[in-house]
Amino acid sequence: MIADLADRLREHGWRNLLRHPVVKNTLLLYLAQFSSYVFPLLTLPFLSRVLQPEKFGLVAFAQSFIWYFITLTDYGFALTATRKIAASRDNVDEVSRIFSAVMGAKLVLLGASFVLMQVVVLAVPKLRSEHVLFTVTFLNVVGNVLFPYWFFQGMQRLEQVALRDFLSKLSSTILVFLIIRSSSDYIWAAGIQSAGALIAGVIGLTQVRKVMHLKWTWPAASAMWSELVSGWPVFLSMAAMTLTSSTNIFILGLWATATDVGYYTSAYRVVVMLRMMVSPIVGALYPHMSALGSDGRDRAVHFVRHTGVLLTVPFAVISLTLLATAPWTVKLLFGSRYLPVIPLLQILALSPFLLALSHNYSTYYMLALGYDRQWSRIVLWSAVLNMLILFSLLWTIPPTYAVAITTLAVDIYSVAAAYLFYRRNEAAG
């Protein structure tokens, strides 16, 4: 891929280079991530101050709970369906079949998720008192189901993703500043963010026919079941990954106070915004790496060994900068009431670099070359390790520190396990 880009640059200059699909998709996704970074950066200080740590933490607690259902409805299709679409994107009939089957399966999962969410919330007293909050936050799941990111990624038409993210983040940001005035508006704060995701999902769905004139029909049960079966290993991995992120916040909310959740979430959201900067590279490169892997492993391995490592260097700089500037960052974003966030942010500071390094050996190598089950095994062990470390620490140190240290430890394990698999596999080959 890099040689291809270099040849284009020598022959035709920068204008032709920018037309290369990988470069174009990377830039478009960075545009989308720019809006995903800037708009939350504007609202995060505002919401943390207006809602106060308790209500800010309560909204974060609800969002972490709802993330279970986002994971369930995603079902790993972002990887399995993307790979199928990328391999068949010139065949309208095959893409139509895949699209219909995946969307049908996601809608069935959406209905099941809503029923399950209502049962759990009404059954648990601590959740039942905030039934409206959880129901409003569930609109995030609906919007996520409606927006077929996996389709646009497989078709390498990610300009639709950029448009969707920009419009949804812009509308949500404007409404937050117009409507939220006190901590009593916390349900409105959750609702505005959820409505932005819902609107984005509707917009994304309407853009599908502009990319390809699909023949969408309600799929047979066997077609939906086939997609669920093929996506099962990846779903298990995605579910395990949720256990190492949203579950930690959810457990923190059950174990500690809403204020503690507010402190930890403040640090975690700063880190997440930086981790989001990894996503455009991964989103643009994964379909390309999958194509390289299907043609032969040599070029894919060469990329991982050389270019992939170089792509992690900027994130190492970002992580070290965050570590050094954490006190200033917290005071600037959250104010003096959030000083307990500083050490938590320092513990989590290496997360963006570790994520970028992990993708080099997991996504670009293991998933692109078809080692889905081996990758799933690493993620499942990460979830087990997460629970073991977390519950060991919760009894011995403050809960916010326990969650932060657990998150860092699991990130380190994920990188080490993927790297060791790559080294063993290539040494054996």
- Please, what is the average pLDDT of the chain? 83
| 343 and 215 housed in the same domain | no
Supply the pLDDT for residue 28: 59
pLDDT at 22 over 60: no
Q: End of a domain among 182, 203, 230?
A: 230
Task: Examine residue 84 and state whether it is found in any structural domain, yes or no.
Answer: yes
Query: Residue for token digits 């819902």?
Result: 198
| Residue 250 shares a structural domain with residue 392 | yes
Q: Produce one character per residue of 71-97: b if its CB has 16 or more CB atoms within 10 Å, e if not.
A: bbbbbbbbbbbbbbbbbbbeeeeebbb
Does residue 325 have a pLDDT over 70?
yes
**pLDDT (mean) for 295-311:** 76
pLDDT band for 158, please (50, 70, 90 cuts): low
Structural domain including 160 reads 28-230
Are 136 and 111 in contact by the 8 Å Cβ rule? The answer is no
Same domain, 211 and 283: no
- The answer to whether position 1 is within a domain reads no
What integer pLDDT is reported at residue 17 of this predicted model? 47
218-265 pLDDT, tens per residue? 888 988 998 888 878 777 766 766 666 778 888 888 888 888 988 998
Dihedral in degrees, nearest 10, Cα atoms 223, 225, 226, 227:
90
Higher pLDDT, residue 381 or 302:
381
pLDDT band at 5 (very low <50, low <70, confident <90, very high): very low
Residue 20 included in any domain: no
- pTM here? 0.69
So what's the pLDDT on residue 209? 80
Quick one: 223 and 267 in the same domain? no
pLDDT at 118: 95
Please give the structure tokens belonging to residue 21: 């699909």
52 and 114 inside one domain: yes
- Do 138 and 193 lie in one domain? The reply is yes
How high is the pLDDT of residue 216?
79
Q: Is the pLDDT of residue 429 over 60?
A: no
- Between the CA of residue 312 and those of 79, 266, 319, 349, 364, what are the distances in Å? 22, 25, 11, 15, 13
What confidence score (pLDDT) does residue 2 get? Answer: 45
**At CB < 8 A and 24+ separation, what contacts does 230-235 make?**
230/80, 231/75, 231/76, 231/77, 231/79, 231/80, 231/81, 232/76, 233/76, 233/372, 233/373, 233/376, 234/75, 234/76, 234/79, 234/80, 234/372, 234/376, 235/75, 235/76
Provide, rounded to the nearest whole percent, the portion of the chain with pLDDT above 70: 83
Considering 170, 196, 230, which residue would you say is the last residue of a domain? Answer: 230
| pLDDT (average), residues 305-310 | 78
What is the signed CA dihedral for 421, 425, 426, 427, rounded to 10 degrees? 100
* Residue 163 pLDDT: 65
pLDDT at position 10 over 70: no
- For residues 62 and 121, the answer to whether their CB atoms sit within 8 Å is no
Q: 25-39, 155-169, 212-226: which has the highest mean pLDDT?
A: 212-226
- What's the whole-number mean pLDDT along residues 326-338? 90
Amino acid 38: pLDDT: 67
Mean pLDDT of 306-327: 90
Instruction: Give me the percent of the chain exceeding a pLDDT of 90.
Output: 32
* Average pLDDT for 82-104: 86
114 and 168 both lie in a single domain? yes
Over range 141-158, report the average pLDDT.
84
Higher pLDDT, 54 or 388: 388
Looking at the structure, tell me whether residues 59 and 95 fall in a common domain.
Answer: yes
pLDDT tens-digit profile of 128-145?
989 999 999 999 999 989
Q: Is residue 137 located within the same domain as residue 180?
A: yes
- Rounded to whole angstroms, how far apart are CA atoms 238 and 235? 5
Q: How far is residue 66's CA from residue 62's CA, in Å, rounded to a whole number? A: 6
Q: What confidence tier does 23 reach under pLDDT thresholds 50, 70, 90?
A: low
Least confident of 277-281, 408-412, 425-429: 425-429
Instruction: Work out how many domains the chain is built from and give that number.
Output: 2
